[in-house]
Chain A
């Protein structure tokens, strides 16, 4: 036998076992070849794999292993030596690579493991973030709910709607089983169930306010979990076995007074309402923190909304009240106007109606006095006259006062002799004073002007009143009257701080002091002194009569004269000084005196006043006509007298300058009208002047209506006529 290079297998070939080994080797080889292919394929696919060359190593290892097993297929039968060599090479290579790989793995596997750990860590983190995201989303949703709730609550200003909406929205947002609001009662000692969510009409359950659970809730501004068995939470029969958790929160009831100007509302308010919220029973739900926060926020918002509603209610109530008051005031004003109108009408009527009979009485009594009377009769007539004079004075006073108050009284300014006023008053008061044995002295300062410009009558009236009072209230002693020009320092009176007299060049302040030694004034009565109709009730004045109007009228007159009047007294029984100051104008020169004796007639200048002025006088009374004519002739006019309208119209022409008409004649106005018609050109027409005995408004209006240029009161004095004519010729009008 020859030796061949064939290698025999070690063992005799078992047919079946060899066949199976053969197949397995084949498949292993197949697998070993396909795995690196897969690896390569997938690694190529994945971009990120840091250990490529490890794979290469693995690939090599696996390929070689596969190759080994493949070659093994040939060794099952007799095979040549080459196959054996290849097989050996393959095995050696495989061994090398696998050892290298094993060595490599020692470095790599820890790395790979740590990658895994990081991956786990990252996953955990991701889970955590997810959780937090969930939380944030929940909070956001809560916030949204709160905003929506707030919006709902604040969108109305009606208290009930606010509270109802709160409960409804809360119930919806938090899916509550029951939601209730307890309000404090008026007494503040109990809480009454005001609103609930599910029950439509809560019956008036009340709980006392000083329960410990309630105190606990009220003492903190957080939502507090309370027991479902507490009285405030036991609202309805238990629906399930396990009642849900209950939370209660306080709702401050703010009032307007809580809001200070610069501070936020202080929660020192003691009034709270209680809001109770119940989770559904038999659910595993619990109150989460964010839900509690939501409830607290809502409670605060409700408080604010309620206070707004309260403020609005207040202001609406105030506005309604104001409107009512306005209506009432309007009514009162209209009533007052009606009253004033009625009073004015009354006064207007009384003015005339009362004066006419008064005058008749006085006139006839005076006449009666002149006749033959027995002493008794004379006494009676005297009394009648005195009483009617008093009455006339009273009527005049009252009517004067009303006119003074209306502001329609105006001073009649004129020039007058100042000293004469005082002397006249003294003369008038002397009889009474001498009866009472009072000494009356008058002292006029030497620097007092002789003539002054002012209202002589009213000044005299004031002085008479003041002096009269002095006499009236003094039973004995003396009355002293002093008058002087007030100097600047003495012009201010401490009692009248708002009286600022300002002396000027044309005016001076006359200061008059009337001092008496009479009963004085009680300091308490001082404010009433100048009040109308108010009189002190002391015994001394019981018999004095008078209406209490005097001083009030004096005060008005004095004020009209830009002055001030006041009384000073040291007390009862210590006498009294009346002081008044009035502003008078300084007269430049003395004017006409009213002496009855004939004054020196200016013979020389009279006839040259109005030389050649052609005048017609129309008067049916011969005497009056003659007098007027004489007057005009005296002033230098060329006068024609006519006694009838026809004669007047016949004679009148453009040459005549002035026409005097006695409008008491029955055709007086008619003539005036016809004259105006006849001579229509204004600048050539004679001026027409009415002569009349009464100067009331009706006459003046009538004259104006027929186009007359002036009205003159009969009887006319020379000076009056002179001034009338000069005014007429200068201004062409006299009315």
Chain B
């Protein structure tokens, strides 16, 4: 079978994986607020594009209003707590000699539900693969998936913290969320 030369997808410029990078262009008379807004927009877009978040997260953001201004943040925090708990449980279960795959499966199911409610797309996809490993009772596979999940959780947590920090900056600069 011929091996096709791999071409990475064209980079449309803008923000890639590191969250601290500034916006490339900076018109001189730009308002700080607009700048921050741009930054937030770009960042959010990049998160969506890279698959960290999906539509559901936007839904969550839409649910924020005057009476619950921090709704998204609260949900996300709850999610990460949940995630941590589940990961710990699963790690403990997988360390046993006789692994109780049913338990692991139910934890994965929980995680899948939570991540889909929050809009954590990557984690949700990981859970799909994780579930396959559980079904095939593949301990090594599960371990690997678990590590992946853990890594993703940490990654996502960082990114969302950045997102929320940006939002806070906008609010303190006098703007309002959502834009």
Contacts and interface: CB of A to CB of B under 8 A. Distances in A.
A631 B113 contact: no
Given A383-B4, A600-B178, A623-B78, A594 B62 contact: no
Among A364, A597, A718, residue most surrounded by chain B Cβ atoms (within 10 Å): A597
A599 B44 CA distance: 13
Nearest to A602: B62
B173 interface: no
Interface string B90-107: 000000000000000000
B82 A623 contact: yes
Given A360-B132, A630-B71, A714-B116, A379 B6 contact: yes
Nearest to B59: A717
A380 B125 CA distance: 22
B113 A693 contact: yes
Given A387-B1, A634-B65, A596 B58 contact: yes
Given A363-B132, A622-B82, A715 B116 contact: yes
B156 interface: no
A63 B67 CA distance: 179
A598 interface: yes
Contacts of A599: 58, 62
Contacts of A312: none
B178 A596 contact: no
Given A386-B4, A717-B55, A693 B116 contact: yes
Given A378-B6, A715-B119, A597 B126 contact: no
B148 A715 contact: no
A685 B170 CA distance: 47
Interface in A372-408: 375, 378-380, 382-383, 386-387
A598 B61 contact: yes
Contacts of B1: 383, 387
A28 interface: no
A634 B132 contact: no
B60 interface: yes
Among B41, B63, B129, residue most surrounded by chain A Cβ atoms (within 10 Å): B63
A621 interface: yes
Nearest to A633: B68
B117 A624 contact: yes
A606 B64 CA distance: 11
A141 to B, nearest CB: 103
Interface residues on B, range: 35 or more
A600 B113 CA distance: 27
A606 B59 CA distance: 13
A27 B71 CA distance: 182
B75 A718 contact: no
Contacts of B3: 379-380, 383
Contacts of B64: 601
B113 A623 contact: yes
Contact of B117 (A366, A382, A603, A623): A623
A611 B109 CA distance: 34
Interface in B32-74: 41, 44-45, 48-49, 53-56, 58-68, 71, 74
A601 B110 contact: no
B55 A627 contact: no
A20 B32 CA distance: 205
Interface string B124-144: 011011001000000000000
Contacts of B62: 598-599, 601, 634, 718
B25 interface: no
B121 to A, nearest CB: 11
Nearest to A717: B59
B179 to A, nearest CB: 7
Given A383-B1, A603-B66, A623-B114, A596 B7 contact: no
B87 interface: no
A623 B114 CA distance: 5
Nearest to B53: A596
Interface residues on A, range: 35 or more
B153 interface: no
A664 B113 contact: yes
Given A597-B44, A598-B178, A599-B62, A623 B75 contact: yes
Nearest to B74: A626
A601 B82 contact: no
A606 B82 CA distance: 29
Contacts of B67: 607
Nearest to B7: A431
A414 B128 CA distance: 29
A664 B65 contact: no
A379 B7 CA distance: 10
B129 A606 contact: no
A673 B69 CA distance: 38
A698 interface: no
Given A596-B45, A598-B61, A626 B78 contact: yes
B118 interface: yes
Contacts of A693: 112-113, 116
Contacts of A383: 1, 3-4
Nearest to A366: B125
A488 interface: no
A367 interface: yes
Given A383-B3, A387-B1, A622-B82, A603 B65 contact: yes
Interface string B16-43: 0000000000000000000000000100
Contact of A714 (B41, B71, B82, B113): B113
Interface string A685-726: 000000001000000000000000000001101100000000
B79 A596 contact: no
B58 A627 contact: no
* 6 tightest Cβ-Cβ pairs between the two chains A and B: A623-B114, A596-B48, A624-B117, A627-B117, A601-B62, A715-B56
Given A596-B55, A715-B119, 10 more contacts: A367-B126, A599-B62, A601-B178, A622-B78, A623-B117, A628-B117, A630-B60, A634-B63, A717-B56, A718-B63
Interface of B: 1, 3-4, 6-7, 41, 44-45, 48-49, 53-56, 58-68, 71, 74-75, 78-79, 82, 109-110, 112-114, 116-119, 125-126, 128-129, 132, 148, 178-179
30 contacts: A360-B129, A363-B125, A363-B129, A367-B126, A378-B6, A379-B3, A382-B4, A382-B6, A383-B4, A596-B58, A597-B41, A597-B58, A598-B61, A598-B178, A600-B178, A601-B62, A621-B82, A622-B114, A623-B82, A624-B113, A626-B74, A627-B118, A630-B60, A634-B65, A693-B112, A714-B113, A715-B56, A715-B116, A715-B117, A715-B119
